């Protein structure tokens, strides 16, 4: 576990709402008139979290120049889960199991956006390779808008082996790639599935792709060959949500 500063109203709110025991301190800007910042201070006090007020320049320094909106939280981040928890998570979720696998997403803004979409789609867990992905940094947390605190993150030592264990648990693997004829919209995404996304530049690694049960593409009638990985993740997840008939 390691401590870092979470910057911004939504990320701090997400940490206080979902993981208050790991929030060590909330720092708000002296003289702030932002009603939401004041609400966060009250929320922190009710959770018995230390609240302090500091000049804006000090928040700028503590937050490393991040856009903090007048509030920071010192947070003790938990270690990612190990792949051994996946069979149990799959069993608990049953036919509603929906996993997201990110094979080497290295841009923190992309990972944060993927976590945000995963939380919104009520994903069972997000799986990343332990050594080929950006960790949950302050930038990731901010980009996730609280999503990093709402969805389990699993760091897999061996991704191919982890994918096989998911298959053994009854989860079908659907990979996304541009060079295939099958359309995502023709896939049956209603059972226990894992949507597998590749890295920003190279896509899925060969072994990851070979482990998938199906490989599909997102149809794009316009003059573009691919989408940003976080955008493609959102499209794929919410196609699964649509098929399953999930309602807010």
Q: What is the pLDDT of residues 178-217, one digit of tens each?
A: 888 899 999 999 999 999 999 877 788 999 999 999 999 9
107 and 31 in a common domain: no
How much of the chain, in percent, has pLDDT values that exceed 90?
63
82 DSSP assignment: P
232 and 128 in a common domain: yes
The whole-chain average pLDDT of the chain stands at 89
58 and 43 in a common domain: yes
- The sign of the dihedral angle between the CA atoms of 182, 153, 210, 108 is positive
What does the pLDDT read at residue 148? 80
117 and 164 in a common domain: yes
Q: Which helix (H) or strand (E) holds 234?
A: helix 229-244
What residues make up the domain containing 58? 2-77
Q: Which of 43, 58, 80, 42 is nearest to 5 (CA)?
A: 58
How much of the chain, in percent, has pLDDT values that exceed 70?
96
- 54, 109, 110, 133 from 104: Cα distances, Å: 38, 13, 11, 5
- Which of 77, 94, 122 marks a domain boundary? 77
CB atoms within 10 A of CB 173: 21
Q: What is the pLDDT of residues 30-42, one digit of tens each?
A: 999 999 999 999 9
133 and 31 in a common domain: no
What does the pLDDT read at residue 180? 86
Tell me the average pLDDT across 50-54. Answer: 96
What does the pLDDT read at residue 239? 96
207 and 134 in a common domain: yes
CA 199/CA 183 separation, integer angstroms? 20
201 DSSP assignment: T
111 and 56 in a common domain: no
Q: What is the pLDDT of residues 97-149, one digit of tens each?
A: 999 999 988 888 899 999 999 999 999 999 999 886 667 777 787 788 778 87
- Which of 77, 102, 123 marks a domain boundary? 77
- CB of 167 closer than 8 Å to CB of 222: no
Q: Which of 235, 229, 240, 236 is nearest to 111 (CA)?
A: 229
What does the pLDDT read at residue 2? 66
CA 47/CA 12 separation, integer angstroms? 13
Q: What is the pLDDT of residues 12-25, one digit of tens each?
A: 998 898 889 989 99
The residue to which tokens 């009854």 are assigned: 170
At 247, the pLDDT band (50, 70, 90 cuts) reads low
Helix (H, G, I), strand (E, B) or coil at 143: helix
For residue 217, report the phi and psi dihedrals to the nearest 5 degrees: -125, 160
- Which of 54, 77, 100 marks a domain boundary? 77
100 and 48 in a common domain: no
Tell me the average pLDDT across 160-187. Answer: 93
CA 22/CA 199 separation, integer angstroms? 31
72 and 108 in a common domain: no
CATH number for the domain spanning 160: value is 3.40.1280.10
Look at the chain and report how many structural domains it folds into: 2
114 and 66 in a common domain: no
CATH number for the domain spanning 56: value is 3.30.1330.30
CA 121/CA 103 separation, integer angstroms? 19
106 and 131 in a common domain: yes
174 and 217 in a common domain: yes
At 220, the pLDDT band (50, 70, 90 cuts) reads confident
């Amino acid at each position: 576990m390691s401590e870092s500063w979470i910057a911004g109203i939504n990320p701090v709110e997400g940490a206080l709402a979902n993981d208050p025991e790991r929030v060590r301190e909330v720092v708000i800007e002296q003289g702030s008139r932002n009603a939401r910042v004041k609400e966060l201070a009250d929320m922190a006090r009710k959770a018995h979290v230390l609240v302090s007020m500091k000049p804006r320049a000090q928040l700028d320094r503590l937050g490393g120049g991040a856009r903090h909106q007048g509030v920071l939280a010192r947070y003790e981040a938990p270690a990612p889960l190990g792949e051994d928890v996946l069979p149990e998570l799959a069993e608990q979720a049953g036919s509603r199991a929906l996993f997201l696998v990110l094979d080497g997403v290295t841009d923190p803004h992309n990972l944060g956006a993927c976590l945000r979409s995963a939380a919104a789609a009520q994903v069972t867990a997000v799986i990343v390779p332990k050594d080929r992905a950006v960790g949950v940094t302050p930038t990731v947390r901010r980009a996730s808008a609280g999503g990093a605190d709402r969805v389990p993150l699993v760091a897999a030592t061996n991704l191919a082996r982890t994918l096989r264990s998911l298959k053994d648990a009854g989860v079908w693997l659907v990979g996304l790639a541009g060079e295939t004829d099958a359309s995502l919209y023709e896939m049956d995404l209603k059972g226990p599935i894992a949507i597998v996304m590749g890295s920003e530049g190279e896509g899925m690694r060969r072994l990851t792709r070979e482990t998938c049960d199906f490989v599909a593409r997102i149809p794009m009638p316009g003059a573009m060959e691919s989408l940003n990985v976080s955008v493609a993740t959102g499209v794929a997840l919410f196609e699964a949500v649509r098929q399953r008939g999930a309602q807010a």
